[in-house]
């Protein structure tokens, strides 16, 4: 391979590459390396660019003993810390690059995103296990009590069985929400193609939640645009979106819950005309510090209250993914003490 081709290849690679000569001086750096460590790298001693003992030792082993190595590094980048994986490979003494007596190639890959994704996955598994274990522990405790102390006590037995039923249905809801979430995440890139009437979807969701509203002393009313509202979407998923938002408004807000539909001529995210559905409550609202994290999986403002209400902490995460699948947008506005407004923007079908 000619020297020009080797250099062109190095320049095209998506990670940083530094060629270091026998005297530990940098001979060549590709564009990614220059972004990472600054311009004017050629001619500088390697140690002045990367002052980390582990990579220094790996470089020495490559240059002196011809031994390849891999090391993990933490690098300071503007405004963040980068996690990197460095590979040090000895160059053959007869390489076509201008490096007498061999040298080494150091490649540095930014693996921050991979590590972050892995941390998110770990947290998720830990959260799921914890959420499943809580009702499971309760169930096991009551089974033991029913076998022992409460064996001959019909009143206690009935009470315990109804608690067990509640805990079992909590687990069932959690598993259902987890399955929903993984399904919408998997198909998020495929926009649904069916033509539907959003009015009918809203009517269905409101009818389903009417009994809950009544039980909690809340009123449920629909305002704004009436009639057929054509939208391209998945009717079950959109029903899930509005059922979730209305259920939250009843559970956490209470009082008068309003569903307001309006047509909008232009919404930048939709790149055209669309529909806006606002689910508004006048409850105690949400402190603004929580707003950016509300759609994260298992994030709750008040975990105890959410559990008491039978919440799984996954509702808004599911809503966000479904809305994204429909090329729409979810906007959350609230002020502590002044209720909450969850707005869903959808492109007109």
Nearer residue to ligand ADP within complex by CB, 300 or 325: 300
Q: How many residues bind ligand ADP (CB under 6 A)?
A: 20
Tokens of 161: 């069985």
* 215, two tokens: 């039980």
Interface with ligand ADP includes 184 (CB under 6 A)?
no
Q: Please list every residue from 246 through 275 that binds ligand ADP, using CB under 6 A.
A: 248-249, 252-253
Residue 340 in the binding site for ligand ADP (CB under 6 A): yes
Contacts of 311 (CB under 8 A, 6+ apart): 251, 300
Q: Which of 28, 180, 199, 306 forms a contact with ligand ADP (CB under 6 A)?
A: 306
Binder of ligand ADP out of 69, 313, 328, 347 (CB under 6 A):
313
Element holding 219 (H helix, E strand): strand 219-224
Say how far residue 324 (Cα) sits from the centre of its chain.
Answer: 13
For the segment 36-75, give every residue that binds ligand ADP (CB under 6 A): none
CB nearer to ligand ADP: give 92 or 292.
Answer: 292
Nearer to ligand ADP, 52 or 210 (CB): 210
- What is the token pair recorded at 151? 């064996």
By CB under 6 A, tell whether 212 contacts ligand ADP.
no
285-292, long-range: CB < 8 A, 24+ apart: 285/334, 285/335, 285/336, 285/337, 285/338, 285/339, 285/340, 286/332, 286/334, 286/336, 286/340, 287/336, 288/334, 288/335, 288/336, 291/332, 291/333, 291/334
Binding test (CB under 6 A) with ligand ADP, winner from 283, 325, 344, 346: 283
Q: Does 167 bind ligand ADP (CB under 6 A)?
A: no
Beta carbon of residue 110, minimum distance to ligand ADP (angstroms, whole number): 32
Count of residues for the chain?
A: 349
Closer to ligand ADP at the Cβ: 151 or 293? Answer: 293
The reply on whether position 135 binds ligand ADP by CB under 6 A is no
Per the structure block, which two tokens stand in for 146?
């029913």
Cβ distance to ligand ADP smaller for residue 55 or 174: 174
Q: Which of 269, 247, 285 is nearest to 344 (CA)?
A: 269
Footprint of ligand ADP (CB under 6 A): 244, 248-249, 252-253, 281, 283, 286, 294, 300-302, 306, 311-316, 340
């Amino acid at each position: 391979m000619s020297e020009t081709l080797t250099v062109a290849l190095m320049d095209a690679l998506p990670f940083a590459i530094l060629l270091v000569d026998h005297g530990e001086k940098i001979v060549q750096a590709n564009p990614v390396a220059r972004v990472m460590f600054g311009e004017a790298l050629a001619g500088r001693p390697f140690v002045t660019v990367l002052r980390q003992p582990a990579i220094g030792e790996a470089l020495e082993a490559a240059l002196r003993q011809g031994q390849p190595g891999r090391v993990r590094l933490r690098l300071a980048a503007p405004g963040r810390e980068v996690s990197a994986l460095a590979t040090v490979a000895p160059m053959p003494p007869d390489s076509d690059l201008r490096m007498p007596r061999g040298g080494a190639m150091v490649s540095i890959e930014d693996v921050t995103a991979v590590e972050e994704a892995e941390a998110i996955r770990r947290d998720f598994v830990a959260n799921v296990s914890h959420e499943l274990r809580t009702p499971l522990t309760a169930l096991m405790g009551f089974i033991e009590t029913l076998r022992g102390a409460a064996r001959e006590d019909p009143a206690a037995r009935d009470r315990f069985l109804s608690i067990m039923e509640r805990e079992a249905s909590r687990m069932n809801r959690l598993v259902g929400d987890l399955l929903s979430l993984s399904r919408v995440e998997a198909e998020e890139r495929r926009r649904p193609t069916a033509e539907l009437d959003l009015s009918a979807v809203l009517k269905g969701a409101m009818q389903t939640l009417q009994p809950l509203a009544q039980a909690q002393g809340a009123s449920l009313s629909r305002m704004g645009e009436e009639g057929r509202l054509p939208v391209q979407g998945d009717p079950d998923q959109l029903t899930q979106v509005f059922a979730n938002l209305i259920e939250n408004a009843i559970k956490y807000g209470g009082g008068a819950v309003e569903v307001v539909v309006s047509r909008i001529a232009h919404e930048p995210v939709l790149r055209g005309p669309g529909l806006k559905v606002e689910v508004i409550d006048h409850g105690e609202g949400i402190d603004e510090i929580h707003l950016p994290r509300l759609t994260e999986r298992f994030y709750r403002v008040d975990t105890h209250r959410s559990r008491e209400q039978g919440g799984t902490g996954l509702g808004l995460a599911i809503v966000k993914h479904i809305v994204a699948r429909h090329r729409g947008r979810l906007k959350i506005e609230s002020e502590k003490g002044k209720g909450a407004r969850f707005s869903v923007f959808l492109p007109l079908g």
